[in-house]
Amino acid sequence: MRVSLLSSCYTQAFRPEIAEQMLNLGTLLGFEMVAQSKHTCCGLPAWDDGRRQDALVAAQQTVRLFDSFDQVIVSSASCYAMLTRQIPTLLGGTEYAEEALSLSQRCRDWSSFLLENVALSVPEFVFPGSITYFQSCRQLEPAATIALLMEICEAERLTTISQSCCGFGNNLTWRHPRISRNMADSVISSLRLTRSDVTVTDDMGCLMLLQNQSQQTRKMRIEHIATFVYGLLQESLQ
Partner 1 sequence: MSKPSIADKNTRSALQRLEFVPAQAAHLAWSASTNGASDRERAGWARQRVLDNLSHYLRKLEQSAMELGVNVHWADGAQDANRQVVEILRQYKTSDALRNHNALLDEIALDRACANNGIKLTHLHPGDHIAALASATRHHPVWPVVHLRAEEISEVVSQRYRVPRTHDPDILASTLRGPLRRTLLRTNTVLLGLDFAVAGNGALVCIDNDGHNANMVALARQAICLLSIENITADMADLHHLANVYARSAWGREMPAYLTSFDRPTAPGVDGPREIHLIFVDNRRSNILNSDIGEALRCIGCGACHNVCPVYQQIGGEAYGESPYAGPIGALINPILLQSSASARQPYLSSACAICKSVCPVNIDLPGLLNNQRQLMATEKPTFSQRLMFGIWRRTLTHPRLFRRLLRVYGRLRGF
Helices (H), the chain: 9-14, 16-28, 44-48, 52-65, 77-81, 87-90, 97-106, 110-117, 143-152, 172-175, 177-193, 204-214, 225-237
Nearest distance from C-beta of residue 39 to partner 1, angstroms? 7
Residues of span 28-57 touching partner 1 by CB under 8 A? 37-41, 45-52, 54, 57
Nearest distance from C-beta of residue 90 to partner 1, angstroms? 11
> Which range binds partner 1 by CB under 8 A, 20-28, 92-100, 112-120, 158-166?
158-166
Q: List all residues 6 or more positions away from 88 whose beta carbon is below 8 Å from its beta carbon.
A: 97, 100, 101, 104
With b for 16 or more beta-carbon neighbours within 10 A and e for fewer, the 160-180 pattern comes to ebeeebbbbbbebbeeeeeeb
- Comparison of 31 and 45: residue with beta carbon closer to partner 1: 45
> Which range binds partner 1 by CB under 8 A, 19-27, 126-134, 207-215, 220-228?
207-215
**Residue-level length of the chain:** 238
* Nearest in space to 8 (alpha carbons), one of 51, 62, 56: 62
168 scored as a contact of partner 1 (CB under 8 A): yes
193 scored as a contact of partner 1 (CB under 8 A): no
- Comparison of 41 and 115: residue with beta carbon closer to partner 1: 41
Nearest distance from C-beta of residue 60 to partner 1, angstroms? 10
58 scored as a contact of partner 1 (CB under 8 A): yes
Q: How far apart are CA 48 and CA 235, in angstroms?
A: 40
- Comparison of 122 and 179: residue with beta carbon closer to partner 1: 179
Site string for partner 1, 130-149 (x = CB under 8 A): -------xx-----------
